[in-house]
Amino acid sequence: MSRIRIAALAAAASAVLLMGVSPGPQPPQDTKQLAHDIFKELVEIHSSDTIGTKEIANAIVARLKSGGFADSDIRVLPEEKYPNQWNVVVRYHGKGKGKPILWNCHIDIVDARPEDWTLPPFKFTEKDGYFYGRGTSDMKDQDAAVLATLLRLKKEGFVPDRDIIVAFTADEEGDWAQDGMWYLMREHRDLVDAGLAINPDGDSGEIINNARADYEVETSQKTYVTYTATVTNKGGHSSQPRPDNAIYDLANALVRFSKYQFPFKTNATTRLYFERMAPQQTGQRRADYLAMAKEPFDPAAAQRLSADVPINSILHSTCVATMLNAGVQENALPARAVATIQCRIMPDETVAGTKATIERVLADPAIKVDVLGLVNSSPESPPSPVVFRKIETVVHSMWPGVPIVPSMSAGASDSIFTRNAGIPSYGVSGGWIDIHDIRAHGRDERREEHAFYESVEFTHRLMQELTKAE
């Protein structure tokens, strides 16, 4: 056995040890090399909000053209207000049996300061079984997997039943309320109109205690909305205190608010989540999961489960005071006191309705409640049995026995805009992440080598499966 072969086996063993799980199926060697080269190229192009996506868009277009895509199938769409923010939309033609399927891939990143990292953030570093660099897990790994899959399918001569559209979009990490996918849906709907959207932004697979615990399909998102609660009065000198103290008034109202809990509720996503996760539980917890899978659910079960902080977050809307600002100096009565209240509300609830609830619970007409900033919300995409069956087919072909569960995200992604456009949208990727080592947006962001290649193979299988006509 050569020293090169021994070194390769040692590196593979190291990668497995780091992940704690055995690698799943990998793509052919030529596809692995192609995906590696694309991944490296994308990571080493700085595409943060301040730089823009023009350069990375050009790189993607060059790859598509060299892989056989016609100019007429590629659209480059710089945004009028943001000339450095470029989007690329490519169409892979099929047999026209049904509406296209849209892959929604953002190509921008959160910025990184080299002095904060132990490795150069904009250099693709291969070390100890990992690929390091900004965007390696959010989401240039999936951009590379999708692009490599398009090129592989083209080389293989694959003809899908339904067209495949891939939108490589700008500025999801920045001012995404103005451009990127929202811009495409608003200004170029004809290019991205589809019967189904897949968003690989994020890791679907969760590794817990060195085991593949579950595979999540994101079907809905809570609405991120922030409110301010403000009390004002005439203030005065601290030597002459009065009963109408802005700080006391606000503090008393916040104490009332701290005791309030939004009503428990379920939706199609959370009911199926509890049903599919119940077999992994034991005793009372298993019984409570099964009770929450029913309609109507058992309020007592919800109350018991709410003691688990992560589970509590999917049982109802949540609001919490996160910031306070009051007074101007120590010897003056406060003329103004402001609390920031951050909420994640259920997909079927409204910003106005939540504001009315906050006002009712604060129970002080002197407190003015306002919405802070722009709010984007979207409806739930019900867990379609057809879509889930196809996803399960692919997942179990690679990782047999892993439970597939729908999830409701407390974060936000470009799926907001496709859902608002009436396109059922699902967060699905072949990425796996150790939940105790999440580095997206953080220092020394990285992606396991074998996990990246698994996601490349997964994307290839998923594109073929989802584009089959029913």
If asked whether residues 362 and 398 sit together in one domain, one would say no
CA distances from 441 to 36, 48, 84, 126, 137 (A): 21, 11, 22, 19, 9
pLDDT per residue as tens digits for the range 231-267: 999 998 899 998 899 999 999 999 999 999 999 999 9
- Same domain, yes or no, for 137 and 239? no
> Cβ–Cβ contacts within 10 Å for residue 21, how many?
19
My answer on whether 209 and 276 are in the same domain is no
Q: How many CA atoms lie within 13 A of 357 on its CB side?
A: 17
Of residues 410, 421, 273, the one with CA closest to residue 347:
410
| Residue 318 predicted with pLDDT over 50 | yes
Q: Rounded CA gap, 411 and 326, in Å?
A: 29
Give the number of other Cβ atoms within 10 Å of residue 393's Cβ: 13
Domain boundary among 372, 390, 414: 372
For residue 455, name the pLDDT band (cuts at 50, 70, 90). very high
Looking up tokens 């994307």 gives 459
Determine what percent of the chain falls in helix, strand and coil, rounding each to the nearest 5. Answer: 35, 20, 40
If you compute the radius of gyration of the chain from its CA atoms, what whole number of angstroms results?
Answer: 25
Structural domain count of the chain: 2
250 and 325: one domain?
yes
- Residues 227 and 195 occupy one common structural domain: no
Contact between 200 and 456 under an 8 Å Cβ cutoff? The reply is no
CATH number of the structural domain spanning residue 293: 3.30.70.360
Question: Could you tell me if 213 and 281 are in contact, meaning their C-beta atoms sit under 8 angstroms apart?
Answer: no
Same domain, 186 and 297: no
Residue-level pLDDT at 82:
83
CA-to-CA distance for 328 and 345, rounded, in angstroms?
33
One-letter amino acid at 67 equals: G
Shared-domain flag, residues 254 and 312 = yes
User: What's the start-to-end Cα distance of the chain, in Å?
Assistant: 50
Answer yes or no: do 203 and 129 share one domain.
yes
**The CA-based dihedral angle spanning residues 185, 191, 195, 196, taken in that order and rounded to the nearest 10 degrees:** -70
CA–CA separation, 18 and 132 (whole Å): 14
Q: Tell me, what DSSP letter sits at residue 438? A: -
Token pair for residue 330?
Answer: 């120590």
pTM: 0.86
What integer pLDDT is reported at residue 18 of this predicted model? 43
Higher pLDDT, 1 or 188: 188
Check whether residue 269 and residue 175 sit in a common domain: no
The residue among 227, 229, 226, 225 whose CA lies nearest residue 251 is 229
Using CA atoms, how far apart are residues 240 and 238, in angstroms rounded to an integer?
A: 5
- Is residue 17 scored above 70 in pLDDT? no
For residue 195, what is the domain's CATH number? 3.40.630.10
392 shares a domain with 294: no
What would the DSSP string read from start to end of 56-112? HHHHHHHHHHHTT--GGGEEEEE-SS-TT-EEEEEEE-----S--EEEEEE--B---
Q: Are residues 349 and 231 in the same domain?
A: yes
3-state SS class at 451: helix
Q: What is the pLDDT of residues 410-419, one digit of tens each?
A: 777 899 999 9
Domain boundary among 347, 372, 397: 372
C-alpha 450/C-alpha 461 separation (Å) is 17
Residues 126 and 172 in one domain: yes
Domain span including residue 113 = 3-219+379-466
124-138: pLDDT as tens digits: 999 999 999 999 999
Cα separations (Å) of 78 from 58, 83, 184, 332? 11, 6, 10, 53
What one-letter code names the amino acid at 117?
A: W
